[in-house]
Amino acid sequence: MGKRSKMIDMAMIQNLELALDQEPPAFLSRLLAFIQDYGIEDMPVLVWQCRPCEEAEIEVLGPPFLDVLPSGAVASTRTEGWCGFRSTHKPVPVFAGLSSAEPAGAPGWASELHTDGHLIAGLWDFSHASPAPGHGHCITGSHAEAFLDFAQFAERVARLVAPQGRFQMTATLVHAANLRFRWSDEIQHPAPRQVLREVLQWRVRSGPVSELRAIGARMANDFRRAYGI
């Protein structure tokens, strides 16, 4: 086998371990696996995760899960960026379960549903937020909507996995310091705050299925406060 052209930086792993200290180890292991599988080790990436509090085993190749993964957040109106986590592709099998796209050809974002009910989604193409080509990676206030979309997506999955159960949800922004915040309109706004952390880690929140959207809204507020908007 040839040597991998990319390796996860050990300093980044240490940052992630520190950020996720005391949290369920599955969040860290799934995050690292996602970053490696999609070859995005050196890119800024915003990753959301949701998992059942109790042990679960699901048949991801069954119709309910094959249908729910590509439909994402059905009420979302996003047609760019993360596209409401909706995919026009048929889900593909991966080691842990199902992916919304073949990892080598993912369109700048992807979602996965694992056999233990763990849902993970990541966004690493921030080009739609850049004012022009060559302006680097940018993030905008509209990315707060992605937290709401993921929460709606997670709620749909959770109702299939364990409708009476409790779930944990979190998010991680890797290489956060490499993203420049910009406003997505021409209205005069106060200067945003630059995030200097390499890893921006959301705390793990838990609740029943009925509270997942509210948790997503709280996470969106965390995002806004991080940039002082």
pLDDT at 129 over 70: no
Exposed, middle or buried by CB within 10 Å (0-12, 13-18, 19+), for 106? buried
Helix (H) or strand (E) holding 50: strand 45-52
| 2: in domain | no
CB 60 within 8 A of CB 114: yes
C-alpha dist (Å) from residue 178 to 29, 38, 50, 111: 23, 19, 25, 23
The tens digit of pLDDT for each residue in 105-123 reads 999 999 999 999 999 999 9
Look at the chain and report how many structural domains it folds into: 1
| 5: in domain | no
What residues make up the domain containing 61? 10-226
| 1: in domain | no
pLDDT at 6 over 60: no
The tens digit of pLDDT for each residue in 158-210 reads 999 999 999 999 999 999 999 988 876 556 566 788 899 999 999 999 999 99
Number of residues assigned to the chain: 229
| 22: in domain | yes
User: In this structure, how many other beta carbons lie within 10 angstroms of the beta carbon of residue 37?
Assistant: 18
What's the rounded Cα separation, in Å, for the pair 130 and 140? 9
| 208: in domain | yes
